[in-house]
């Protein structure tokens, strides 16, 4: 059951609709004085439809557009609240979420057939050869270590090789 568009919403409902935690909404209230929900007895917040438009616009600017808090504050200061509200109105309403458990997905370390490496160790080593001598040695050692780690992950031997290290650490703590 959904509320009417003009109904007031609690912080839980707003957080669910915007897909942000409640503490983020309280933080935004501190950073953006333009967000002023109505507060009732006991400090319960009720957000008006205008507050929702503003919050949608702020969320879009922060999360989708990549603005910083200061950047959004500057937009609000220079362009006004109405510009951000218009942005909030133009966004499509969020889809209804299904209730229930998420399906369990088993993680796998094996590469998929269509997976392509970002850069091969050979091309990385060629890039490292262009560096100054002190930096080249460091980069080449890091590349070698990463290649070894990749091999361990692909072969599944990482867990087997890590076991003696853990046992040695525990033995060292006891001594």
Percent of the chain whose predicted confidence (pLDDT) is above 70 = 62
First to last CA, the chain: 63
Q: Which two tokens stand for residue 80?
A: 């006004």
Q: Which domains does the chain have, with CATH numbers?
A: 9-90 (1.10.1660.10), 121-174 (no CATH)
pLDDT in tens, 70-87: 999 999 999 989 988 888
pLDDT in tens, 86-95: 887 777 655 5
Residue 142: predicted pLDDT: 81
Distance CA 4, CA 102 (A): 29
Q: Is 28 in contact with 55 (CB distance < 8 Å)?
A: yes
């Amino acid at each position: 059951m959904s509320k009417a568009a003009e109904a007031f919403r609690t912080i839980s409902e707003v957080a669910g609709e915007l897909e942000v935690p409640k503490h983020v909404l309280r933080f935004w209230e501190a950073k953006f004085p333009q967000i002023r929900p109505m507060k009732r007895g006991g400090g319960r917040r009720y957000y008006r439809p205008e507050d929702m438009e503003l919050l949608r616009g702020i969320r879009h600017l922060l999360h989708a557009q990549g603005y910083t808090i200061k950047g959004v504050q500057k937009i609000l200061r220079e362009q006004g609240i109405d510009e951000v509200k218009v942005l909030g109105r133009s966004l499509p309403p969020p889809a209804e979420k299904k209730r229930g458990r998420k399906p369990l997905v088993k993680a796998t370390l094996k590469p998929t057939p269509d997976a392509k490496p970002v850069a091969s160790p050979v091309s990385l080593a060629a890039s490292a050869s262009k560096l100054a001598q002190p930096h080249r040695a460091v980069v080449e050692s890091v590349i070698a270590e990463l290649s070894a780690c990749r091999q361990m992950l692909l072969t599944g031997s990482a867990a087997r090789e890590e076991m003696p290290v853990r046992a040695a650490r525990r033995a060292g703590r006891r001594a």
